[in-house]
Amino acid sequence: MKLRDLNDMLESKRQEITAWMKVKRNEVDIPIYGSVDVRDAGWKICVVDANHFPAGFNNVSKENMSELSLLFKEHVKRTRPDCEWVHIYPESHTRNQGYAENISSIKTMILEAGFACTVGSPDLNGLHAMNGISGPLVLQEVELNEDDELIVGGKIPDLILLNNDLTDGEIPGIHSTNITPPPHMGWYRRRKSQHYEALKPYVDEIAALIEIDPWHLMPDWFVSENKCLTEETCRMKLAEEIDDFLNDLRQKYRSLGISREPTVVIKNDSGTYGLGIMMLTSGEQILNLSNRKANRLRYAKGGADVENFLIQEGIPTALATAAGENLEPVVYLVDGEAASWFYRINGKKSDMDNLNSPSARFENYEDSENPYIEQAHGWHALVAELSMIAMGAEAKAWENHTTDPNIAK
């Protein structure tokens, strides 16, 4: 079964889906923004990575900026009606021009929404600007008052927009109530697997509504905990787990007539910026890992130790450019709505590989030129928006001092 063959059915359920989405969004605090990587295998379309503090807004088309700005304005005015000034708290990537351009794009979105906007953090004090692709991004000096609140120009911003994933832990000045997304969703405590735990009940419900098997909208996965790749016994146990998982996938593929061997993706269960990801087709490959590859797999942003591995079903991409380069959609959402997307294209990678590498490029297409626009507005948008609801459930669970997302439901 190819989901694109069910496009008409999906559209026939549009009113029911919209009504269901409205109910679910009212049950949680929908994130102000987010981005997701989508894999479309034809027979399976799902989110494979969800970002609560998204970079890459510089790859969003200028044509979509007005819609993003409108959604941003609606979110802020609904949640903080007195807000007039938004301050962006960024990462400290002073040499990353692409990241600086991302912040510039977010600032443009905020300004077009009608808010004043400043940028800076204590770590960036002393720098007048970050060099973006289109030019310098001006920074403001940031201080902390005695209550550990951020002060910019002698005043407290109405809203602090966090664009720092907090991999290295909590940072000073982010404990006040005028910060979004909530700092407790930082990668120092959040886990990728918790997103899937939160997502599953929503996928199950929407699949029942549109009468398909939920398997088609979400990757299979499990977490292998406390696996030290330096110890042979740990590697042997992990290899057994991977082989069992692959066998289960193999049986599912056969039952659906999918004529390819399954692959798994093994990655750090915490945020990695696409680092430390490996594709495997057997557990034996873990046993035969070179020290160099094992070290890569254990690598995490900031040098943090990898404690748990997320073992995830590998989803091949069935999408490609006219020249045969493999691609995947990256969907950008504001106020829970899929408002813009671009395509990560990598001609040096196979349809199963991680496309997020230095050889990737990003393309935007006008609707009239985009051969995947029906999918984008249909299945791709659906799974992306489900992911945002799940992020809201995650945040609510953490706020309730629990790692069980179902408590938020």
Mean pLDDT of 261-287: 83
Tens of pLDDT, residues 40-76: 999 999 999 999 999 999 999 888 899 999 999 999 9
Quote the pTM value: 0.92
Which CATH entry fits the domain spanning 57-185: 3.30.70.580, 3.40.470.10, 3.30.465.10, 3.40.50.11280?
A: 3.40.50.11280
pLDDT at 193 over 60: yes
Rounded average pLDDT over 247-267: 95
Cβ atoms of 115 and 139 within 8 Å: the answer is no
Q: What is the mean pLDDT of residues 6-16?
A: 96
Per-residue 3-state assignment (H helix, E strand, C coil) for the chain: CCHHHHHHHHHHCHHHHHHHHHHHHCCCCCCCEEEEEEEECCCCEEEEEEECCCCCHHHCCHHHHHHHHHHHHHHHHHHCCCCCEEEEEECCCCCCHHHHHHHHHHHHHHHHCCCEEEECCHHHCCCCEEECCCCEEECCCEEECCCCCEEECCECCCEEEEECCCCCCCCCCCCCCCEECCHHHCCCCCCHHHHHHHHHHHHHHHHHHHCCCHHHHCCCEEEEECCCCCCHHHHHHHHHHHHHHHHHHHHHHHHHCCCCCCCEEEEECCCCCCCCCEEECCCHHHHCCCHHHHHHHHCCHHHCCCCEEEEEECCCCCCECCCCCEEEEEEEEECCEEEEEEEEEECCCCCCCCCCCCCCEEECCCHHHCCCHHHHHHHHHHHHHHHHHHHHHHHHHHHCCCCCHHHHC
204 or 237: which carries more pLDDT confidence? 204
Break the chain into its structural domains and give their ranges.
3-54+192-408, 57-185
Within 8 A by CB and 6+ apart from 137, the residues are 100, 101, 103, 104, 107, 119, 129, 130, 131
Q: How far apart are CA 232 and CA 294, in angstroms?
A: 12
In this structure, of 102-116, 156-170, 244-258, 378-392, the range with the lowest mean pLDDT score is 156-170
pLDDT digits (tens, 9 = 90+) for 364-408: 877 768 889 899 999 999 999 999 999 999 999 877 765 444 444
Nearest-angstrom CA–CA distance, 66 and 108: 10
